[in-house]
């Protein structure tokens, strides 16, 4: 009995010993595997990784991202990037605030750099327009586009529309890289590409040329630019950085306005003069009114400097709206002076209504709007 007991104890002890030895060996093997995968300067890298904590999209080490990161961090490209980020500061702060409010990926702040370099008037060869480069066929239901209003040129409304579109894409595809890709090539095109793909991720689509080259480069460009801009110290790159206090003040100055609503064709230029403002000030706040007037019949919201709403209401009482303008197609031999004489108006009124200058060349077939009063 005693012998059996001792054998049992020995067996248990041996089993535990072997099990512990196996565990130790397994941990050693795991450690060796990890060490094999880590570079020689792993400890240094692990200390530097926190500089990427703000980054949420991931894939900063993808070869395509690295390719564009090298490009944008080169001397020439980094200067252009810094210049565009600085010039677009007013709009970037609005974009950043909107992104934070909606809890969206912070990298989206840099998408207008890829789209337009933060230029509100940018126009592509294919006709995409504005800060977020909306095409005419992609504005609905996000923005208004007609003879008098093109909200693609309004950086504030276009930002709200772009973020709504990106959110819709994300809700549909369930992945931010796919959502961003769809913003570039269209949700329909991306859906068709995914149907042909055995793997439902952006990198597979890009590497196997199932999406256009422009779209395949669009996402890594964004990740590269955002990575550089959000981690300037890590990359030792000279890009604009701004404190939270300055960011808040800039937002207060550039994203909080007063508004008045009208439903007749009022001249933005005349309203500015009646308010004793520089005309350019009001025009910059209302770039969507492409003819320099509000819509003749639909409600139009005029953006104003904060604190000037009553001044604007008083000014509107002093000026008369245009009657519904007449459309005129320019013919061979026409001039602004001749057209103005023919329709009983002035060259100044024609220029103001059509957003042109007196010395502009009139292209045959161009549509001009003629004040009917």
In the chain, the domains with their CATH numbers are: 63-248 (1.10.530.10), 257-316 (3.10.350), 326-370 (3.10.350.10)
Residues in the chain, total: 373
pLDDT tens profile 101-112? 999 999 999 999
Measure the CA–CA gap between 225 and 174, rounded to whole angstroms.
Answer: 23
Measure the CA–CA gap between 19 and 307, rounded to whole angstroms.
Answer: 77
Measure the CA–CA gap between 179 and 259, rounded to whole angstroms.
Answer: 33
Cβ neighbour number for residue 19 with a 10 Å cutoff: 10
What positions carry a catalytic annotation? Answer: 115
User: Where residue 217 falls among pLDDT bands split at 50, 70, 90?
Assistant: very high
- As given in the structure block, the two tokens for residue 231 are 């981690």
pLDDT tens profile 284-309? 999 999 989 999 878 999 999 999 99
pLDDT tens profile 331-343? 998 999 999 888 8
Cβ neighbour number for residue 28 with a 10 Å cutoff: 10
CB proximity list for 362: less than 8 A, separation 6 or greater? 330, 334, 335, 336, 368
pLDDT for residue 75 is more than 60? yes
Mean of per-residue pLDDT scores for the chain: 84
- Choose among 348, 349, 353: nearest CA to 293: 353
CA distances, 278 to each of 24, 157, 198, 232, 305 (Å): 78, 23, 59, 38, 12
Measure the CA–CA gap between 236 and 255, rounded to whole angstroms.
Answer: 31
Burial class (CB in 10 A: 0-12, 13-18, 19+), 211: buried
Q: Which residue, chain included where needed, has tokens 């007037």? A: 293
| Through-space distance between the first and last CA atoms of the chain, rounded to whole angstroms | 121
pTM greater than 0.85 (yes/no)? no
What distance lies between CA 149 and its chain's CA centroid? Answer: 20
């Amino acid at each position: 009995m005693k012998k059996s007991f001792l054998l049992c104890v020995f067996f248990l002890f041996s089993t535990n010993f072997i099990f512990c030895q196996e565990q130790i060996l397994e941990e050693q093997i795991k450690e060796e595997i990890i060490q094999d995968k880590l570079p020689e300067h792993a400890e240094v890298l692990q200390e530097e990784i926190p500089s990427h904590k703000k980054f949420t999209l991931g894939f900063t080490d993808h070869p395509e991202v690295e390719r564009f990161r090298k490009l944008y961090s080169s001397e020439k490209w980094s200067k252009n990037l810094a210049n565009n980020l600085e010039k677009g500061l007013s709009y970037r702060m609005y974009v950043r605030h909107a992104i934070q409010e909606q809890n969206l990926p912070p990298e989206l702040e840099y998408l207008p750099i890829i789209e337009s370099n933060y230029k509100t008037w940018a126009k592509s060869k294919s006709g995409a327009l504005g800060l977020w480069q909306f095409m005419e066929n992609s504005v609905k239901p996000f923005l208004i586009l007609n003879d008098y209003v093109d909200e693609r040129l309004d950086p504030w409304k276009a930002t709200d529309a772009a973020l709504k579109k990106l959110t819709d894409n994300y809700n549909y595809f369930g992945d931010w890289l796919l959502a961003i890709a769809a913003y570039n090539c269209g949700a329909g095109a991306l859906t068709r590409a995914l149907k042909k793909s055995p793997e439902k991720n952006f990198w597979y689509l890009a590497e196997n040329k199932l999406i256009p080259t422009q779209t395949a480069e669009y996402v890594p460009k964004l990740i590269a630019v955002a990575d550089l801009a959000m981690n300037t110290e890590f990359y030792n790159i000279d890009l604009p950085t701004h404190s939270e206090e300055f960011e808040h003040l800039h937002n207060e100055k550039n994203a909080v306005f007063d508004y008045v609503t009208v439903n007749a064709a009022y001249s933005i230029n005349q309203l500015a003069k009646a308010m004793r403002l520089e005309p350019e000030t009001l025009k910059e706040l209302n770039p969507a009114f492409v003819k320099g007037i509000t819509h003749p019949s639909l409600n139009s919201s005029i953006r104003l400097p904060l604190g000037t709403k009553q001044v604007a209401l008083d000014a509107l009482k002093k000026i008369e709206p245009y009657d519904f303008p007449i459309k005129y197609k320019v013919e061979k031999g026409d001039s602004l002076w001749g057209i103005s004489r023919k329709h009983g108006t002035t060259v100044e009124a024609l220029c103001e209504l059509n957003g042109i200058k007196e010395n502009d060349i009139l292209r045959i077939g161009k549509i001009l709007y003629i004040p009917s009063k």
